[in-house]
Amino acid sequence: MSDNLPLMPKATAVWLVENTALTFDQIATFCGLHPLEVKGIADGEVGAGIRGRNPLLNHELTREEIAKAEGDESYRLKLTKRTVVIPEKKRSGPRYTPVSRRQDRPNAILWLVRNHPELSDAQISRLVGTTKPTIVSIREKTHWNYSNLKPVDPVSLGLSSQVDLDSAVQKASKRRAKMMPVEPTGPTLKPASETVAEPSTRFLEEPRTKKEEEEAPDAASVFAGFGGDDSDDDDKKD
């Protein structure tokens, strides 16, 4: 309902017809009705069982505003600004789809399944006003007319609003992020290049010079000395 109209337009029109000298055009403009409909209310043909609603008691009009309009037929009544915000009733259940658009729903479902796989079946059902078996059959490619389906944006088909689609995708993305495993952020094992020590060169033998190799005793000369000592001992015994 527009913010420029009274809360109960037709009941307000009934009260204005019965209690003021306003013209049909003035009442029709203020209440969002057609002048002929207001004339029908005055003749008793329309709204016969409707009880008039006083806009003064509901702070939608003032007596000064009504008197000003009664003195000037070209003047249009102005609704007093509401101080209480009336929340809109949220729609529950699947979205209603006009009969002329129902044949386009499989194409919209196919588009959603391909482009937004994070959406659940319940979300798709609310967006385009379909049933879960239909969604499952399109996901699994078992729909009776799957070969002839063409993915089409449900917003362009008029099956869903862009705001509702963006909101559903955002919620699905947050839900999917919560379900994904969290990578560890603590300390991890160090690579082998950092943990394995380099071989020590402290105990490695330094290469010898040519002179040192010539002066180094060989095995024959070493054992020759042992043989000479034995022969001397034998001579002494004799």
**Res 49: pLDDT:** 73
Spans of all domains in the chain: 9-71, 99-179
Name the percent of the chain lying above pLDDT 70.
Answer: 65
Model confidence at 217, in pLDDT bands (50, 70, 90)? low
Q: Tell me which residue of 93, 99, 116, 226 sits closest to 159, measured CA to CA.
A: 99
Q: How far is 181 from 129, CA to CA, in rounded Å?
A: 33
Q: How far is 38 from 209, CA to CA, in rounded Å?
A: 125
Q: Tell me which residue of 89, 167, 100 sits closest to 127, measured CA to CA.
A: 167
Model confidence at 25, in pLDDT bands (50, 70, 90)? very high
**Res 220: pLDDT:** 65
User: What is the three-state SS of 113-156?
Assistant: HHHCCCCCHHHHHHHHCCCHHHHHHHHCCCCCCHHHCCCCCHHH
Of residues 79 and 236, more confidence is placed in 79
**Res 110: pLDDT:** 93
For 73-100, the pLDDT digits (tens) are 899 988 887 655 555 555 555 556 565 5
